[in-house]
Structure 1
Amino acid sequence: MKNLTLGLRITLVTGIPLLIGLSVFLFLKSYFLNPTEAGNKQKISFMVAPGTAFSKISEQLVEQNFVKHALIPRIIAGLKGIDTRTIKAGEYELSRGMTPPAIIAKLASGDIVKRKVTITEGMTIRDVGRLVAAAGLANEIDFWKTLHDPLLLKRWGVEGDSFEGYLFPNTYFFSLPIKPEEIIYTMMKEGEKIWPDEYTNQANLLNMTRHEVLTLASIIEKESGDVSEQPMISSVFHNRLNKGMKLQADPTVIYGVGEFNGNLTKADLETPTPYNTYTNFGLPPGPIGNPGKNAIHAALYPAKSDYLYFVANATGKHTFSNQLPEHNKAVSELIESGNGQPEKEAKAKMGSPASPLANNTVSLRSTPKAPLISSKEKP
């Protein structure tokens, strides 16, 4: 009996501390290593601002319920030998179903979120602003204001009143935090990469500035997305400029109108705006969109032709003419076929003789110069 009692005492003396130790271990494991919401895989944005101390990051993790105590990240980082000073600023995707060690490993990896923005050829700066806002990279109004910042335009040598035409079409990946001017600068520099010295020399031969080349390229881009046709369309515009004729390009009218319902009318063609190349001679005051590489090349290197007119045909391409009667015949045939442009739009452009300038000299610029976007287009 005494031996039984002694054995029980020994068991209690040794077992209770072991049980307590096991309980403490399990508690600490649960507290330090288990996720705050097991099974919750919902991705949540977690921002690390530039220059933020790791102690502050730890507090933010607690505030957003990713860990239970601010000491936890610091202990884990210490045990894993992570230099917390090297944690990269930016946006991270975390979930409350992640374990604290997994969260710290994610931050230490520098695997920040990259937000995608794809600009296609011909998009306007308003289109770009909407995409940037939709990606959560900037407020649309703030981005719009930056696009028209006169100090920024002057600093970066942009001739126009906005960055229209200078945001190169491409797919971009941006990470937060980022300023609107950083986004614009990245897109602008991408365009400079495809502008070699050869382009500057060719522009000089054409007696055109880069701004004028981008303006013409933006019109070509809007007239046809068919790369094979762009040099021929460019030749029409160059021929008209060289003869002192109005460009009579529909996309410039649409851009100047601001709010377009998809139906180009004779009234639109006669509405006086700085961008209406039916009422003004020469190029409009600036680009009407952001042209791609092929349209820019076409503006600089037009095909050799004597064409002065073109109209969209039933094939989706264009019929080119060098005489007005020939052009009007092509338009009439198009109307009769029921294909191509809407009848009302085609008729609006029939019989519009190209009027030469009084002195028969080339004027690349339209006057007076006005803001690139009408007030109606502001976000």
Structure 2
Amino acid sequence: MNNNQFLQKDTQIVRKIVLLVCAAILIACIAIGAGSYFYIKSALQPVDPQDKTPVHISIPIGSSVNEIADLLEKKRLIKSATVFRYYVKFKNHVNFQAGEYDLNRSMPMENIIEVLKTGKVTEKGGLKLTIPKGTQITQIAAIIAKKTGYKKEDVLKQLNDRAYLEHLMQKYPKVLSKDIFNKNIRYPLEGYLFPATYSFKERKPPLSDIIEEMLKKTEEVLAKYERDRKTNNMPVHQLLTMSSLIEEEATEKADREKIASVFYNRLRAGMPLQTDPTVLYALGKHKDRVSYKDLEVQSPYNTYIHKGLPPGPIANSGEMSIKAALEPAKTDYFYFLATPAGDVIFTKTLAEHNQQKEKYIGKQ
């Protein structure tokens, strides 16, 4: 056998080895893929389809997805905390609600997720308190009073107590500053009580517990944006003030980042913000339409007669509005108009704005 024949034979052997190795790798990949698929599919199914025994679980306020996943796995309500985390991220599930829940091991993972998102807490004599976005202090006091039996006046008294507020400033220095005591501020904690669903074991917990849970939530949300806030050199009070204007002007269909851009463009140009919600806040009442006479109300909150931001927030704001206040869109818009259908139309000039106003609202 000559050298060429030896070479040909070696080449054939090498080819066979390579083919075998490739085949083995392919089979291994298929096996791993199939195994992973069936593992994940199994993990999404109930731990025990026949076991409907209630399993009580408490989700603390501020719990992360990782912490919730570990709690569920520890209670044997899901098969895998890891799969839960990846599934939540893949499906973009957000806004899990704190509270006391009675779940069971016959529930698929998706059902458990939906319950935790809707906040359907177990009613065992405890308190469930829902504070909507865009809610003002007086409204929050009314909600607390209605749900707990406290008098609205007593709630407001606690929220305005100087000694108590100074205590809170020491306890939450990253959230509260002396800005809340500015002379023109109507309510020191306006805008600082985060909109969310809160659960308490007691039917009538101390007012301080209720207030501080809301401040903790604000602290938690603001912590996510600490770097952006410092980069923008924006104090918390200024951030919450701007985000409250965005929240009050936004509709469900609104692009909050564009609304923020209009406000910032006006501030840079030295124009008044001229946002109607500040007029209503100054008036202390809600109206479907602001009149020209209303625009003349003498108040530091009236952004038609005072340039710059109002003295403080005019309501609480959700996370989307806080994010928009820190990350506004880059536009050359100076005007926006909310149509009766909830759409928001942005324009560059007053003439364009008036055209759209006449088209959608009519002459006033």
TM-score by length of 1: 0.57
CA contact (8 A) 1:227 1:294 kept: no
Structure 1 stretches of 4+ with a deviation exceeding 6 A read: none
State the number of aligned residues: 227
Q: Do residues 144 (structure 1) and 156 (structure 2) align? A: yes
Give the drift of 1:335: 3.4
Amino acid at match of 2:229: A
Other-structure match for 2:267 = 241
Q: Aligned in 2, Cα 1:246/1:136: closer, same or farther, shift over 3 Å?
A: same
Counterpart CA distance in 2 for 1:332 and 1:324 is 12
| Mapping of residues 15-164 of structure 1, within 5 Å | 113-157=125-169, 158=176, 159-160=179-180, 161-164=187-190
Structure 2 stretches of 5 or more lacking a match? 1-122, 170-175, 181-186
Paired with 1:112 and 1:139, the residues of 2 have a C-alpha distance of 23
Match of 1:270 in 2: 296
User: Which residue does 1:188 correspond to in 2?
Assistant: 215
CA deviation digits over 1:31-55, x for unaligned, max 9?
Answer: xxxxxxxxxxxxxxxxxxxxxxxxx
What CA deviation, in whole Å up to 9, does each residue of 1:218-265 have, x standing for no partner? 111110132651111011101111222111000010001013343310
Q: Which residue of 1 aligns with 2:283?
A: 257
User: Do the aligned residues in 2 keep the contact of 1:307 with 1:321 (CA within 8 Å)?
Assistant: yes
Conserved? CA contact 2:266–2:334, under 8 Å: yes
Amino acid at match of 2:198: Y
Q: Within 5 A, what are the aligned runs for 1:308-327?
A: 308-327=334-353
Go from structure 1 to structure 2 and tell me whether the alpha carbon gap of 1:234 and 1:172 turns closer, same or farther (over 3 Å shift): same
Q: Deviations over 1:310-341 (max 9, x none)?
A: 111254111111111111221122234xxxxx
Displacement of 1:271: 1.3
Contact 1:137 1:176 in 2 (8 A): no
What residue in structure 2 maps to residue 221 of structure 1?
247
Which residue matches 1:90? Answer: none
Task: Measure, in 2, the Cα distance between the counterparts of 1:282 and 1:311.
Answer: 20
In 1, Cα distance between equivalents of 2:282 and 2:126: 35
Query: TM-score, length-normalised on structure 2?
Result: 0.59
Separation of aligned partners in 2, 1:228 and 1:258: 25
Q: Distance in 2 between matches of 1:131 and 1:140?
A: 8
Shift of residue 150 of structure 1? 1.8
Answer whether contact 1:227 1:295 (CA < 8 A) is retained.
Answer: no
Query: Higher Cα Rg: structure 1 or 2?
Result: 1
CA contact (8 A) 1:231 1:301 kept: yes
2-structure distance, mates of 1:209, 1:251:
22
User: Quick one: distance in 2 between partners of 1:225 and 1:252?
Assistant: 16
- Cα shift at 1:154: 2.5
Greater CA drift, 248-257 or 165-174: 165-174
Please name the residue that 2:85 is paired with: none
Query: Given residue 162 of structure 1, which amino acid in structure 2 is its aligned partner?
Result: P
Q: Secondary structure at the match of 1:191?
A: helix
Contact 1:167 1:187 in 2 (8 A): yes
Residue in 2 aligned with 1:304? 330
**Residue deviations 1:54-102 (CA, integer Å, cap 9, x gap):** xxxxxxxxxxxxxxxxxxxxxxxxxxxxxxxxxxxxxxxxxxxxxxxxx
- Give unpaired runs (5+ residues) of structure 1: 1-110, 337-342, 345-379
Task: Sort the Cα spacing of 1:335 and 1:168 in 2 relative to 1 into closer, same or farther, 3 A.
Answer: closer
SS at match of 1:195: helix
Task: Tell me, in whole angstroms, the C-alpha distance in 1 between the residues paired with 2:311 and 2:296.
Answer: 18
Q: What SS does structure 1 have at the residue aligned with 2:274?
A: coil
Q: Do 1:274 and 1:284's aligned partners in 2 also have CA atoms closer than 8 Å?
A: yes
Letter in 2 for 1:192: E
Partner of 1:61: none
The residue aligned with 1:279 is 305
> Displacement, 1:304?
1.1
